[in-house]
Structure 1
Amino acid sequence: MNECLGIKNLKVNYGSIEALKGIDISVKEGQIVALLGANGAGKTTTLRKISGILEAKSGSVQFFGEDITKLPPHKIASKGIIQSPEGRQVFRDLTVEENLMIGAYTIKNKKELKNNFDRVYSYFPVLRERKNQIASTLSGGEQQMLAIGRALMGNPKLLLLDEPSLGLAPLIVKNIFHIIEEIRKDGTTVLIVEQNALQTLKIADYAYVLEVGKVGMEGSAKELRNNSSLIEVYLGGKN
């Protein structure tokens, strides 16, 4: 299995605060890999660095063997790393279809564009029904579907998901996680940051638990799911 993403000894600072203290992460092609941990552990910082939004103090980020550590965000997106951000961040005054079009800004081929719309609407039929609806009038769950759909419109090789279940009802969460599994089955590698550890470990292949900017634990999702001390100590819940 090829390595899709390789992070080596990555350090990122916010001013004088060391947010990442030299982490190593590997994501194999075709996997769902989870980044877990409490608030402030460095999960979102990791995604923002992969996307090129933050600069590294040291260390490297490689994508299919190419060093992308110093590339700007638009170059990273054009290589196939696309993020669905925390808090959805849909364009509230635009329609569903206009939001999806923004996600496809790198796609020039009309047939490819149509295929991407068809793919997104197959995952999220409600978006097709609401394609002319203003995004701000959607429910929270529909906005999350739109945020993921917008990311998929750019044909990601690696999809970065930041807290896709945040603030959603359990039934909607279950649906979103099912769709993430479908996205992986269709060939897209996924790196997911989540507070909902148990749900995430049910769909992930491998997981890293971040603890104040360091990798505190890692292993197959099944191993971590069966580790009761991990669930209690690191992730704040009982298995």
Structure 2
Amino acid sequence: MSREPILEIKNLEVHYGPIRALKAIDITVYEGQVVALLGANGAGKTTTLRTLSGVVKPTNGTILFKGERLDKLAPEKITSSGISQSPEGRQIFGDLTVEENLKIGAYIIKSKKTLQENFKKVYGYFPVLRERKNQVASTLSGGEQQMLAIGRALMNNPKVLLLDEPSLGLAPLLVKEILEIVNTIAKDGVTVVIVEQNAAQTLKIADYAYVLEVGSISKEGEASELMNDSSLAEAYLGTVTN
């Protein structure tokens, strides 16, 4: 694995009006890693991802992507530069087909050949989407909709994939399946930053993790070490060994 940082968050602060949602956090993501952001609701995990994708603007600090400033760019420029997000709650277009949803994710792709290659790649990760490609997205199961949301984010060949709560509302077996696919995506060369409340399962596929508490990083380390951290286990992990 390369030890070049692909993403660097330095002294990042975000305010919603008078509320300080992120309090001068520092996060470094190396190329090829799966980095997990863990913590309870309201900890600042989703705000971090939304700031990375340009939807939320920071009040202080910098974000570097491959050494270039990202925090001043518009969301579409950030997407074009190689960062894609699969948002919390999936936010698929329910009245469009699976294939139409995926095509929307590839709006920056101009080459028909590349578009077809990207369809092939996404269907390789999620074969059920190929079977359902002409089906209206609202008729998919929850797990299939989540696969569609991740697939859509992959359609523009991102260097970094941001995943916000991909396990939300899914049965344990489906969670395991989706996280295993995320692990495969990372092994194929896409750097992944994943926000999850399901800490135990996520740490199994992550390389490194940060724990956020009310806008601050309270703990960080190798995922394998945090898995055995007794204070973390008590707060977030539940039964890690399952």
* TM-score normalised by L of structure 2: 0.97
Name the counterpart of 1:85.
Answer: 87
2:198–2:237 CA contact under 8 A, matched in 1: no
Name the counterpart of 1:237.
Answer: 238
Name the counterpart of 1:60.
Answer: 62
Displacement of 1:113 in angstroms is 0.6
Name the counterpart of 1:175.
Answer: 177
The alignment status of 1:163 with 2:165, answered yes or no, reads yes
2:82–2:160 CA contact under 8 A, matched in 1: yes
Displacement of 1:111 in angstroms is 1.1
Name the counterpart of 2:150.
Answer: 148
Pairing 1:67-216 to 2, within 5 Å after superposition: 67-216=69-218
Alpha-carbon RMSD: 0.7
Name the counterpart of 2:221.
Answer: 219
Displacement of 1:137 in angstroms is 0.2
Q: Deviations over 1:138-186 (max 9, x none)?
A: 0000000000000000111000000000000111111101100110111
> Distance in 2 between the 1:171 and 1:34 partners?
20
1:163–1:195 CA contact under 8 A, matched in 2: yes
Choose the corresponding residue for 1:16, options 15, 18, 23. Answer: 18
Displacement of 1:236 in angstroms is 5.7
Q: Deviations over 1:199-229 (max 9, x none)?
A: 0000000000001000000000001001121
Q: Deviations over 1:18-56 (max 9, x none)?
A: 000100000000000000000000000000000000111
1:96–1:134 CA contact under 8 A, matched in 2: yes
* TM-score normalised by L of structure 1: 0.98
> Distance in 2 between the 1:107 and 1:175 partners?
29
- One-letter amino acid of the structure 2 residue matched with residue 112 of structure 1: T
- One-letter amino acid of the structure 1 residue matched with residue 34 of structure 2: I
Which 4+ stretches in 1 moved above 6 angstroms?
none
Displacement of 1:2 in angstroms is 1.0
Give the length in aligned residue pairs: 238
2:200–2:239 CA contact under 8 A, matched in 1: no
> Distance in 2 between the 1:67 and 1:224 partners?
31
Structure 2 counterpart SS, 1:147: helix
Structure 2 counterpart SS, 1:122: helix
> Distance in 1 between the 2:122 and 2:97 partners?
15
Structure 1 counterpart SS, 2:36: strand
> Distance in 1 between the 2:234 and 2:159 partners?
34
> Distance in 1 between the 2:132 and 2:62 partners?
42
Choose the corresponding residue for 1:29, options 12, 28, 31. Answer: 31
> Distance in 2 between the 1:228 and 1:14 partners?
33
> Distance in 2 between the 1:102 and 1:238 partners?
39
> Distance in 1 between the 2:10 and 2:198 partners?
26
> Distance in 1 between the 2:205 and 2:92 partners?
25
Displacement of 1:237 in angstroms is 2.3
Structure 2 counterpart SS, 1:77: helix
